Amino acid sequence: MKRILMTALVCYSILGFAQYSLSEIPKDGYLKDFDIFVEIIQKQHPNPYRFHSKEEFTKKVDSLRKVIEKNPTYINFHLNTPAKILGDGHLSITTDSNYYGDFLQSILFFPIATYIHNGHAFVNGNNRYNIEIGSQILEINNLNINDIIKKAPLSSDGNIKVENIDLSLYISFICKNNSNTYTIKYKNLNGEEKTITTDGINYSQFYYENEHAVLPIDLITQSQGIYGYKINENTYYLSIKSFGYDESVFYETLKKNFQIIKDLKLKNLILDIRDNSGGIINNIPLLYSFISKEKQFTNSYRYATKVININYKDYLIEAQTNRFYSDQDIIDENNFMRQRFDKDTEGDYYSGNNRLDDTYIKNYPRDGLFFDGNVALIINNKTFSAATYFASLFKKEKRGFILGKETGSCSNFTTAAWFIYYRLPNTKSVISIPRSEVFFNENTKENITNCTGVIPDYTIDTNYFLKALKAQKDPEVEYALSLFK
């Protein structure tokens, strides 16, 4: 069986040296690719009108199309794809590394690291312009910062508000001008408004500035995936950035960390799943089994889709090789879905059957190394997909307190599991589209329109955030430690 993978895909690919020139893309090529993207969504998405009626979707698509028609450029196309309005954080478009590399060599970047908190953009690192860390950015090149944020493509389900974005990157895309300068209006920590004009910087300098920003503090887990350590005499900190590991590897890593917690007789655990984009859903109950208060807990999720066949066959590729699908590949893909999804007796859905997930365990046993102390779970907008299921399970079981920001996926369902890929003929960008929806914790398939993510019990107010930022400490971790006292 194919592994069930739930993850949010990155919107921009890893950079490579430019071998193609953007001048090769005809101006009408952007509109042609846009129209293909729309048709793929309409024919292939498992539930394209979950959050918008067909009429509303068409109206919003027409509005985006006019934006591209007015300014048919590479970056304007990627800032205004139909993925922007669908409300499915798993639907993504990845740039061709060669075209993207050519684009990056044509611009100079915003020179200051930034961070958004409670709707405000703050300076997130030391800089050569002596703008104090924590200063609030108000305008860039005469554009209000809130308008810039609105123009950025956000990865979330439904209408969930997202703040955890690479703002400095999008400022570079949205505010670029012919002089490659940035006029920055900001308010310092004394409340004084000031304006400066700076030159843009190249990508290597931009990368350096962002890697040396204050937040995020936890850079170790960003490189290692899972990392834990004793943070004070009573508390262990365990950060998990992905659930995409092989189950046996994941178990051994968890076992090692929870053995340390047991040996040290620690009372508190901070479990950090910020920026965790998901992974293999079987790893969700596996992690929870190490903190369950009960000997057995309910692990409940179900898959369903309205589309089991490949209805849009052009430009379909095998993701790893970029090889176009053959007729036989399409037959195999259809057979895979037909064997694992059965038509519901009522409605338009096909629901997953027992063959879909032969490793599914509903009544999940607690692990022998379970921790029964206090647990704080930290989440944010990039807690996505399977990671949101973990946060949802944690909240349903009332295992501890949750702090941070609302998850980017709905708390009761999302799209996930299998993906198919299309390479657009003009921009060479690749669309990743999920094959099914998944419903958490006994939630039903019908009548879910206005979803919310998992809502934290505690959020960080702006004053507390700024105090931690200036001290170069992690605001959420510091707040969690204060709640344990």
What would the pLDDT profile of 281-327 be if each residue is shown by its tens digit? 999 999 999 999 999 999 999 999 999 999 999 999 998 899 999 99
Give the pLDDT score at 443: 65
Percent of the chain with pLDDT over 90: 84
**Contact indicator for 474, 468 with CB cutoff of 8 Å:** yes
Q: Which residues pair with 415 in a beta bridge?
A: 437
Token pair 């934006």: residue = 67
Give the pLDDT score at 448: 60
State the burial class of residue 284 (Cβ atoms within 10 Å of its Cβ: 0-12, 13-18, 19+): buried
d(CA 308, CA 339): 10
Structure tokens at 239: 């950060």
Give the pLDDT score at 5: 43
What would the pLDDT profile of 212-264 be if each residue is shown by its tens digit? 999 999 989 888 899 999 999 999 999 999 999 999 999 999 999 999 999 99
d(CA 17, CA 383): 31
Give Cα separations from 110 to 23, 24, 214, 215, 245 (angstroms). Answer: 24, 27, 17, 17, 35
d(CA 288, CA 276): 15
Q: Where are the domains of the chain?
A: 1-94+157-162+215-485
d(CA 27, CA 18): 20
Was domain 1-94+157-162+215-485 assigned CATH 3.90.226.10? Answer: yes
Q: Which residues of the chain have pLDDT under 50?
A: 1-18
